[in-house]
Amino acid sequence: MQPRFLLSEVGTGLRRNISMAVSVVLVTMVSIFLLGLGLLAQRQADTMKGYWYDRIQVSIYLCNAFAEQPNCRGQAITDAQRAAIDTQLKAMPEVKEVFFETEAEAYERFKEQFRNSPVAGNVEPGFLPESFRVQLADPSKYAVITEQFKSAPGVAQVQDQEKVLSRFFRIINWITVLTVALAALMAGCAALLMGTAIRQAAFIRRREIAIMRLVGASNWTIRMPFLTEMLLVSGLGVALAVGLLYAAVGTIFTNGVNEIAQLQAFIGVGDVWAITPWMLLGVIVLTALTSLVTLRRYLRV
């Protein structure tokens, strides 16, 4: 098929079916925008995991005179027990670095963190226990430290930050799943709308199709104008969705929270460009399959 003839057929089809073409553009834009939001939410979760997991520490709180845990029974840890824990930690391959915090350091850190809270006045020096802050070589191995030291002599409690962070990431993952599910529903609507648009265009141009079949035109020659039309309108929908995602990420993250929370890891417009080829490829595949199935059923060529 000559390019000039193909472009002429595509232009004629779009002019005759402009309202349906606009509908396909808008539905595609909304579905791809929702899909993009879901993918970006997952990339944000992965980015934050990489940022926070590198900073996850396991805190081993030691017994003091105020500790009521069964492993302490109101008795402070001895020097020998403290030294044994320190030696054991530094010998473990899972441990990257060990920090020891005294009672005085724990009290000063507590006052700094809660300096604007009334609870700061209720804590006295010596009430907060000593602790070992353990940086892991592999943050996912926190359970090894927990199991080994939770019942060790002189240990009041073992606490890891992963439990708190995992809840936050689980929420983000659920948001991602719901967003992608809604995007899949909208993609189904887009496919149905594309099929309707193709059927309507085929009905409008049924005389041209009959003539093309009489003169021996191949199946692909008849299909190409319809397929090209749907690829153009769905591609325009993807372009609009990417523009919306670019504006949203640029406004919210690049020019927003990144300036406020400078020590946090957030996605950027580069992530939008990273997912764009995959979204475009998905739309091309969806459009091609919808067009081919619809034409095969209704044109019977």
For all residues of the chain together, what is the average pLDDT?
Answer: 76
> pTM value?
0.61
Residue 267: what pLDDT?
Answer: 73
pLDDT at 239: 92
For position 16, what pLDDT does the model report? 65
Q: Contact 85/155 with Cβ under 8 angstroms?
A: yes
pLDDT of residue 289: 82
Can you give the pLDDT at residue 260? 44
Please report, as a single letter, which amino acid is at residue 23. Answer: S
Q: Return the minimum-mean-pLDDT range out of 41-50, 236-245, 277-286.
A: 41-50
Residue 244 CB neighbour total at 10 angstroms: 17
Residue 263 has pLDDT above 50, yes or no: no
Strands 131-136 and 95-101: antiparallel
CA distance 109 to 126: 13
Q: Give the per-residue pLDDT at 242.
A: 92
**Residue whose entry in the numeric block shows the structure tokens 């708190």:** 164
CA distance 136 to 131: 16
Using the predicted structure, report yes or no on whether residue 206 has a pLDDT greater than 60: yes
Most confident of 56-60, 123-127, 172-176: 56-60
